[in-house]
Amino acid sequence: MCGIVGYIGSNQAAPILLEGLRRLEYRGYDSAGLAIHDGSDLKVIRAAGKISALAQLVSTANPHGTFGIGHTRWA
């Protein structure tokens, strides 16, 4: 099983995608990731385990962009 969430808008995508992934965590908790486009590059961040592990990496990487996609995976 997995969960997929996307966002396109005027706000920063990372916090919105993380909240969406938290709501979908029951659909998969083995790994999670997100990809955010900043206008020129695609920033991909992924982590094994729960969404909290991904959230820590996102806070360190601090990706900027107003659209992206996130996923959870259950192997």
pLDDT digits (tens, 9 = 90+) for 7-51: 999 999 999 999 999 999 888 779 999 999 999 999 999 999 999
7 close to 60: Cβ distance less than 8 angstroms: no
Biggest CA pair distance of the chain: 34
For 8, the domain range is 3-44+51-64
70 domain residue, yes or no: no
User: Strand 42-48's sheet: what is its strand order?
Assistant: 2-8, 67-73, 31-37, 42-48
Phi, psi of 29 (to 5 degrees): -135, 15
Task: Please give the pLDDT value at position 27.
Answer: 82
22 domain residue, yes or no: yes
38 domain residue, yes or no: yes
69 domain residue, yes or no: no
7 domain residue, yes or no: yes
User: For residue 7, what are its two tokens?
Assistant: 């966002």
Kindly report whether the global pTM for this prediction surpasses the value 0.85. yes
55 domain residue, yes or no: yes
10 domain residue, yes or no: yes
72 close to 5: Cβ distance less than 8 angstroms: no
Number of domains in the chain: 1
74 domain residue, yes or no: no
